Each structure stands twice: as C-alpha cells, then as structure tokens.
C-alpha cells in the first residue's frame, strides 16, 4: 500500500503466470511475471531480510547498473523425481557477467566508444561489461556428476517430427545498448514424448561493431540417466560478416550459424536413476 502511494509497484505482489507439468520422472515448471522495477519499493531497503527484488539484485551483483529489462520472476525448472534438476533464472545469469575483465571485451568497447563518439554521446560509455555477456549454462540442482564427453546431441533425432507436449520461452534479461543494438538472454524448453530439449541463449548485436551468441543446449532422452549439455560461443566483428544482409543480422536463429566458433564445451550430466532420498 505504501509503495503504491509512492508510485512504485512491488512486482512481488503482482500476479504470476505459472504452470507445472509432469513428464515421466520429470517435473517441468515455469513462472513468468513483470519486469524488475527501477526504483526501490521501500526507498531504501535497510533491512537485510526484507529487501525488495531490486535491492537484492543490486547487492548480489557487482554491476554498476542492470540491463534495461530484467525479469526476476521468470524462472524455468526441470526437475527429476530424485531431486536433480536445472533451473534458469536472471540473477544467476547476471552473476556470470564478467564485468569487462576480458581484453576482448575492452577492445570491443573501444570500437563502440569510437562509434558512439560520432553520435556525440560518449559520456554514457560505462567502464564495465555493458554488453552483459554471460556464459551462464543454467543452475544445477541436486547431485549431478558432470563430465566432459565426446557424445553429441542427436540433431537428426531432434529434427524428426514428434508431438510437442510442452513448449515455453522466457526472457531473463534484455538491454538495447542505448539503441546501439541488443543484448538478450532467453531460454526455450520443448518437451516431446521421447525427450526434452532446452536452448538457453545469450545474443548480442552491437550495430556496426560485432555479434556474439553464447548457446547452451540440453538434451535428455527419457529413460536414460543423463543429460547432454553443449555450450558454444560464437562471435564475429562486423567487418568479418560484411556480406550478411542486415535483416539476417537481426535474426539470432539465422545469423548464429554464420558466426565463427570461438569456444565450446561438451558435458554429460549424470544423475542417480532412483531416488536416494525416497522422494517419489
């Protein structure tokens, strides 16, 4: 009530869209709600226990400022009966923003600075990773054993026409880089009768400077005791992809396969088949 009087809405009190489904031994649930408010609802939160979401984000993250749009209540969870699972949320995704520690990012930042100088708004350039580049692969729950693997997700199998039992797409955060492009982190989940597939994507387009896609793909065939996880980072400077039409540059799905592979990790996440804690 007090916060409403101050003209600030506490999103923790707004309705949340949520669903929960059971597929074999897996529970798939998500919730979806409003964007993070831009001002503290308690103005300011002093009590450590009852902090508003904005103050939680500001204190947990070492970022001078947050992306334009953060969706703290957009959460996707896939969890096995034995407790092992994977969750996707904005706070953990933003924890992985490396804050301009990599020289590659600084170099890119210099170029961007130059491009911005022409537009006369250099003062807005920030001394941190303003692209919010994250290598977040989801948050693991329970006791997975994570090992490097030579096994790959069977793309052919995924392409086979199979009934879609569940599909959802959540945005975790998004920033328009002051109209210089876009940085967006989102997760898509698809459940079929034989398997589930997750694509967590961080996509960056700095107009006339560069593109980057950090993808995490997760694939599980029901009845097996593991999930395959593939992480790939692809990037290109604008000069390397001059031949690509602007309309394609705006479509993450179309442009990503055209970007050179910079880094990749392939993992097998194994979990105990039966419950150790007796949860059914």
Q: What is the spatial order of strands in the sheet that 139-141 belongs to?
A: 17-23, 26-32, 75-80, 85-88, 139-141
- How far, in Å, CA of 276 to CA of 280, rounded? 10
- How far, in Å, CA of 18 to CA of 20, rounded? 7
Please name the residue ranges forming H helices in 14-134: 53-60, 90-95, 103-117
Q: How far is the CB of 9 from Zn ion (least distance, A)?
A: 13
Round the CA-based radius of gyration of the chain to a whole number and report it. 20
Between strands 145-148 and 261-270, the pairing is: antiparallel
Q: How far is the CB of 2 from Zn ion (least distance, A)?
A: 12
State the residue for tokens 């055209």: 258
Within 10 Å of residue 72's Cβ, how many Cβ atoms? 23
Instruction: Choose between 45 and 63: whose C-beta lies nearer to Zn ion.
Output: 45
DSSP state of 278: -
Q: How far is the CB of 234 from Zn ion (least distance, A)?
A: 38
Q: How far is the CB of 37 from Zn ion (least distance, A)?
A: 9
Instruction: Choose between 5 and 261: whose C-beta lies nearer to Zn ion.
Output: 5
Instruction: Choose between 37 and 205: whose C-beta lies nearer to Zn ion.
Output: 37
Q: How far is the CB of 46 from Zn ion (least distance, A)?
A: 9
Q: How far is the CB of 14 from Zn ion (least distance, A)?
A: 16
Instruction: Choose between 45 and 200: whose C-beta lies nearer to Zn ion.
Output: 45
- Binding residues (CB under 5 A) for Zn ion: these are 40, 42, 45, 52, 55
3-state secondary structure of 57: helix
Instruction: Choose between 45 and 84: whose C-beta lies nearer to Zn ion.
Output: 45
Q: How far is the CB of 41 from Zn ion (least distance, A)?
A: 6
**Given its phi and psi angles, is residue 177 left (phi above 0), alpha (psi -120 to 50 degrees) or beta?**
left
3-state secondary structure of 115: helix
Instruction: Choose between 11 and 249: whose C-beta lies nearer to Zn ion.
Output: 11
Instruction: Choose between 46 and 118: whose C-beta lies nearer to Zn ion.
Output: 46
DSSP state of 20: E
């Amino acid at each position: 009530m007090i916060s409403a009087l101050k003209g600030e809405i506490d999103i923790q009190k707004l309705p949340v869209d949520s669903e929960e489904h059971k597929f074999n031994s897996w529970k798939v649930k998500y919730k979806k709600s409003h964007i993070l408010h831009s001002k503290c609802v308690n103005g300011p939160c002093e009590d450590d226990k009852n902090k508003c979401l904005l103050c939680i984000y500001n204190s947990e993250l070492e970022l001078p400022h947050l992306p334009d749009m953060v969706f703290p209540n957009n959460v996707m969870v896939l969890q096995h009966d034995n407790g092992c699972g994977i969750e996707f949320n904005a706070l953990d995704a933003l924890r992985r923003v490396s804050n301009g520690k990599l020289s590659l990012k600084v170099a890119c930042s210099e170029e961007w600075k130059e491009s911005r100088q022409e537009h006369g708004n250099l003062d807005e350039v920030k001394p941190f990773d303003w692209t919010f580049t994250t290598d977040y692969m989801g948050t693991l729950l329970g006791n997975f054993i994570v090992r490097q693997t030579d096994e790959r997700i069977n793309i052919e199998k995924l392409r086979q026409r199979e009934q879609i039992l569940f599909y959802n797409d959540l945005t975790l955060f998004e920033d328009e880089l002051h109209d210089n492009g876009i940085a967006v982190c989102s997760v898509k989940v698809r459940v079929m009768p034989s398997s589930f597939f997750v694509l967590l994507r961080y996509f960056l387009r700095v107009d006339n400077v560069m593109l980057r896609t950090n993808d995490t793909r997760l694939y599980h065939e029901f009845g097996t005791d593991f999930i395959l996880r593939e992480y790939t980072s692809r990037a290109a400077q604008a000069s390397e992809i001059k031949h690509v039409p602007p309309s394609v540059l705006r479509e993450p799905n179309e442009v990503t396969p055209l970007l050179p592979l910079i880094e990749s990790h392939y993992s097998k996440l194994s979990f105990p088949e039966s419950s150790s804690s007796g949860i059914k």
